[in-house]
Amino acid sequence: MNTNSYTSRLLLAGAFVFAATLAEFATSPTFAASDTPKCKEGLTYNEQTKKCEQTSSLEDDTLTRQGRALALNGHYENALEALMAVRNKEDATVLTYIGYATRKLGRVDEGITWYHKALALDPNNLYTREYLGEGYLAAGRIDLAMQELAKLEALCGKGCEQYEALSSAIAGEPEHWGSST
């Protein structure tokens, strides 16, 4: 067998294996098109084991990280499932992202209530302040959104990401609502 024939066969075999791997990955029910793996209802992706696992068996920090990632990627129902499974809900991050996902599902007043619970635990949480301001905008309360903007300015200045995002939202750029991570 000559070298060119051997190389051609090797390249063809490699291309076949690559195509088969891509096809398997694309049809896998565990992974969505986004960076965040998606699992069936009742399951949440465990970053440590790299598998979908029973939501109730995961640790709070795993559920919190996954719930936050799902919310920020637009998977609000799945985010709520993960976040509501967190056993210790006395955590400002958990409450903030429950509020975020709830607000994004159109339940603005309920989302605002969750933000207030988060701020009771951590009044200086920049993300909670930003999202609360966006919630007030969605509820038509520009006056309260402006108050949150002033609080953000006092906490982090006009140059911080959360201040800029809320300021853009108030200026009429709702595509920025909730865009910070």
pTM attached to this predicted model:
0.69
Predicted pLDDT at 47? 66
pLDDT band at 11; cut points 50, 70, 90 = very low
Domain positions in the chain are: 89-181
pLDDT band at 27; cut points 50, 70, 90 = very low
In degrees and rounded to multiples of 5, residue 26 shows phi and psi of: -65, -30
134 pLDDT more than 80:
yes
Give bridge partners of residue 81 from the DSSP assignment: none
- State the average pLDDT for the chain: 79
Helices 161-170 + 126-138 axis angle, to 10: 10
20 pLDDT more than 60:
no
State whether the Cα torsion 83-89-91-95 is positive or negative: positive
pLDDT band at 143; cut points 50, 70, 90 = very high
Rounded Cα distance between 170 and 165, Å, is: 9
SS3 content of the chain, % helix, strand, coil (to 5): 65, 5, 30
Tokens 């939202």 locate to: 169
Selecting from 3.10.180.10, 1.25.40.10, 3.40.50.720, 3.30.1490.20, what CATH number does the domain 89-181 have?
1.25.40.10
